[in-house]
Each structure stands twice: as C-alpha cells, then as structure tokens.
Amino acid sequence: MKKNGLKGLIPISSTLVICTVIFLLAFSQRSLWIYNPSISSNSNQDRFCTITPAIEAPKALTRDAEGLVSLPYEIHVCKGLGLAYVHIYKNGGTAISKILNSFCEQTTRKKPIMYAFFWKNTRLSSLESVCDKFMCFTFWREPVDRFFSSYHEIMKRMPKSYEKVLQQFVLPSSATQELKISTLKSFFNLVKTGAIRDPHILPQTSFIMDKSGQVIIPGLSVYSLNRLDQILPVLLCGAHSRACSPSTVECPYRKDMISDNHQRDRSSPEYSLPQYLLSEEEVDRELVEDIAMHFSKDYCFFGISRHPSMIQEPQCL
C-alpha cells in the first residue's frame, strides 16, 4: 500500500514542479514585456511604466458660506502622471477627457479620477489642493464661437434640461429664419440677466474664478483650443517622460488620438436641430457685438484678440 502511494505522489510532484517553472518563466517574460523600451510603436500591447514618486490624491473639499463651491467645475486627475485637466465646457472637453482617460490608463494602468461639482452635488474637491500637487491645464475658445456652439447644444437637449425657462423656446422644425433669430435674441437676453445658468453658457472665467473675481487656480496653464493638436501631445508625453521609469519607455501617444476622439462641434448641422441652427454670419452685427461684449472678461483674462464685431474695447474691469 505504501509503495503504491509513493507512486501516486510522483506524478503530482512532477506536475507541481513543471507548473511552477512555467509560471516563473511566464512572469519573467511579462516583466520584460512591461519594461522593454524596444517595443514597436505599432504594437497593440499596452506599455506600462513604474510611477515615481507616488503622488497623494487630492484632499477634501472647499465650500463657501452657503455650503457650495462658488463655481461649476469638472477636473480629471491622472495621479500617476501628475496631470490634471480642468474642463471648461464647450472647449473640446469630451475629446480631451477621453484622450487623457485612455492615455492615463494605458501608461499607469489606472483611469483618471474625476472630481466634479454639478450645482448641488456634494462630492466636491478643492481646486487649490489639486493644482498645488498636479500640473493643471485647460483650453480657452473664442467666446462668440463658443456661445453659438453652447446655444445649439442647450437647445438640442432642452427636453431633458432642468431649466424650465427654456421651454418657452420650443420651435417647430419648420421655423422661419426670422423666428430662429428672434428666439436666439430672447435666449441671449435671459443669459445676460442670469435667468439661464447652464454651465455651458457661462463665461469661461467662471470656471477658474470665484464670485469676487479672484483666480482660485494658481499655476493653471491655459492654451488656445486652436492649438490642441500641438499642445496635448507635448503635455502628455512630457508628463510621461518625467514620471516613468525607465525614461526610455516610448510615449504611446498617437497623432490620430485627437481625430479618433473628436466629437463633431455642436454647431454643426449633423448635431444641431434645424430650427435652432444659426451662425454668427446669419444674425445682425449688433447682436454679435452684444454677445462679444457680454463675454468681455474672457477676452481680457485669456488675452483673446478682439472680435471683429466689437467697435469698442472689451470691458475688462
């Protein structure tokens, strides 16, 4: 009985040894694959790097006297790369956040953390605590161009909007040009009075200044949206080079990332509802100038060239 039992143990022991050897070889090869800088840029395999030093996640949250922060914001933090993207609505944010999400996960094996404040949402993050530790960046857009894009998006999703005041702007698909322009003027009048507070239509400075007009994101890097295809790869690959060990790991950024993730602008006929679709060339110059002047702070703060419709200088004070 003992002899037979010993024979039974031999194949089991051999199997364990063989499995252990296979596992160790596989693990060794996996380690070489992860850190091998010679991987072809056309490889479909993700390339990871060891992140040093470790950066703590942003801490708890700043609120004003009413228990809410004083501005809307959405910020995407890639902890491993030390990057934080401040999303100013209607400035290419969907494409940028998708690219950052993919790049961060591909290089660090972790998705970015999104901190957001949507009016009464209590899960808030202090922008100061984020941008003290991370490189914060964002993009600005020409204000009049952004306004028309915002208008088309808001009208597109009006049935689901929490702003009931918008219901007065419901138009038939056969609306005349005159009615479309009249509706746009009425909409803009409510924007000027503050009756419409949708974040997509707020000035871009509203995302980085408090109620008193003080900048609350020190050290924020701001770039023109027109230079997105030049700036974004520099930011991502620069952070990748600084954070990764070994530094010879090739940056996995692809030139087609922006085009792959680009969402049609919300002012395009493919997206907008026909009864609201307008361009600034189709409305009178006085209205366009009024719109531009309403966003004077954006022109001043970001150093944007004066819009052609503006007869006078932006009111910067």
Is residue 28, in this structure, part of any structural domain at all? no
pLDDT digits 0-9 by tens, 272-301: 889 999 999 999 999 999 999 999 999 998
Is residue 287, in this structure, part of any structural domain at all? yes
Q: For residue 63, give both structure tokens.
A: 């609120």
Q: How far apart are CA 176 and CA 11, in angstroms?
A: 85
- Residue 255's φ and ψ, nearest 5 degrees, are -65, -25
- Residue 135's φ and ψ, nearest 5 degrees, are -80, 110
Tell me which H or E stretch contains 84: strand 83-86
Q: How far apart are CA 155 and CA 232, in angstroms?
A: 30
Q: What is the DSSP string of 15-45?
A: HHHHHHHHHHHHHHHHHHHHH-TT--TT-SS
Candidate from 72-81, 87-96, 124-133, 233-242 with smallest mean pLDDT: 124-133
Q: Which domain holds residue 232?
A: 50-302
Is residue 137, in this structure, part of any structural domain at all? yes
Locate all alpha helices (DSSP H) within the chain, ordered by sequence. Answer: 2-35, 93-108, 127-133, 143-156, 177-193, 228-243, 257-261, 285-294, 296-302
pLDDT at 74 > cutoff 50: yes
Q: How many separate domains does the chain show?
A: 1
Is residue 27, in this structure, part of any structural domain at all? no
pLDDT digits 0-9 by tens, 142-198: 999 999 999 999 998 886 666 788 889 999 999 999 999 999 999 999 999 989 888
Q: What is the pLDDT of residue 162?
A: 62
pLDDT at 79 > cutoff 50: yes
- Residue 245's φ and ψ, nearest 5 degrees, are -130, 125
Is residue 40, in this structure, part of any structural domain at all? no
70 neighbors 210 (Cβ within 8 angstroms): yes
CB-count exposure of residue 82 (10 Å: 0-12, 13-18, 19+): middle
Q: How far apart are CA 147 and CA 49, in angstroms?
A: 41
Is residue 103, in this structure, part of any structural domain at all? yes
Q: What is the pLDDT of residue 317?
A: 64
What is the average per-residue pLDDT within 122-132? 57
Candidate from 9-23, 88-102, 259-273 with smallest mean pLDDT: 9-23
Within 10 angstroms of residue 267's Cβ, the number of other Cβ atoms is 22
Query: How many helices, marked H, and strands, marked E, lie in the chain?
Result: 9, 7
Is residue 309, in this structure, part of any structural domain at all? no
pLDDT at 217 > cutoff 80: no
Q: For residue 209, give both structure tokens.
A: 């200044």
What is the three-class DSSP state of 283? coil
Name the more confident of 177 and 118: 177
Q: How far apart are CA 286 and CA 291, in angstroms?
A: 9
Q: What is the pLDDT of residue 106?
A: 87
Confidence tier at 139 by pLDDT (50, 70, 90): very high
What sign has the CA pseudo-torsion 187, 226, 209, 75? positive
Q: What is the pLDDT of residue 262?
A: 60
Is residue 165, in this structure, part of any structural domain at all? yes
